[in-house]
Amino acid sequence: MRIYKTALALCLILIIAPVFHSSEGESKAETTAAATEEKQSSDMRELLLEMEKQSSDFNSLKTDFVQEKNLAVFRNRIIIKGRIYLKKPDTVAWHVDEPLKYSVLITDKLIRQWDEDTDQVQEIPLSKNPMFRVVIDQLTAWFSGRYVQLLDDYTVSAKKTHPLEIEFIPRESGNMKKIIKAITVTFREDRKYLQKVRFDEVSGDSTTITFKNTIFNAPIDSADLEVKGRV
């Protein structure tokens, strides 16, 4: 399996498709359920707003990550290791170091990627690829700490408080329901950033990304944001 396919799959996992729902003809029970859901959504919105405030005081970040992919069919595990560089508001560089080398740079204007197999740099302008624009917006939302916007597309609940663990379940009418069963996000003890994200897929596969050695307001030079300069 080529590394770029794995990285692209991760990006697709993070796509949050818009959800539209009509409330015409609701029964009394449905109305009550809707009111309960609205209250829970309001509570979660307040919690996520608090989380956003926690992560709003840094402009750049670098972190190591370990990604584990468990394949249900083969009872096998794929481990990927690398680094992420974030520069707010909309620049993310994703460098995979093991088992092969792969890099992708995401900005508000383009995607640039390089992989060891081809040793070629590819560039995709977002102006000509509106679907990639959706990918970018959602990917940067996760890494930048813009969690509230996820409420439109997921049913969100807090599973633990120490450390804080929040579960995101795709809404029934959303496209992600066909792929993702649940996404579980575990925050650091100081709640300033992500500690771990787990994706449970409908297929039975699962992917867990653990963030380590996270440094806030880290100095980021131009080489960190090059798809080939740091690999």
Which CATH number covers residue 159?
A: 2.50.20.10
pLDDT over 90, % of the chain = 20
Q: What pLDDT digit, counting tens, does each position of 63-90 carry?
A: 999 999 988 777 778 899 999 999 887 7
Residue 85 lies in a domain: yes
Query: Which one-letter DSSP state was computed for residue 192?
Result: S
80-98: burial string, b at 16+ Cβ within 10 Å, e else: bebbbbbbbeebbbbbbee
| pLDDT the model gives residue 114 | 92
Q: In the Cβ-directed half-sphere of 206, how many Cα atoms lie within 13 Å? A: 10
Nearest CA among 222, 220, 176 for reference residue 202: 176
Residue 119 lies in a domain: yes
Q: Once rounded to an integer, what is the mean pLDDT over residues 110-127?
A: 86
pLDDT grade, residue 133 (50/70/90)? low
Q: Is 122 helix (H, G, I), strand (E, B) or coil?
A: strand
Residue 24 lies in a domain: no
Residue 28 lies in a domain: no
Residue 231 lies in a domain: no
Residues 148, 141 contacting (CB under 8 angstroms): no
pLDDT over 90 (residue 210) = yes
Q: Once rounded to an integer, what is the mean pLDDT over residues 89-96?
A: 87
Considering only residues 35 and 111, tell me which one the structure prediction assigns the higher pLDDT: 111
- Least-confidence region, from 11-25, 77-91, 103-117, 175-189: 11-25
Neighbours of 141 (CB within 10 A): 16
Nearest CA among 186, 183, 145 for reference residue 50: 145
Residue 31 lies in a domain: no
Q: Is 171 helix (H, G, I), strand (E, B) or coil?
A: coil
Q: Once rounded to an integer, what is the mean pLDDT over residues 204-214?
A: 92
Residue 194 lies in a domain: yes
Count of structural domains within the chain: 1
| pLDDT the model gives residue 67 | 92
pLDDT grade, residue 137 (50/70/90)? low
Measured CA to CA, the distance from residue 105 to residue 168 in angstroms comes to 26
Residue 9 lies in a domain: yes
Q: Is-above-0.85 flag for pTM?
A: no
Give the domain range for residue 68. 3-14+44-225
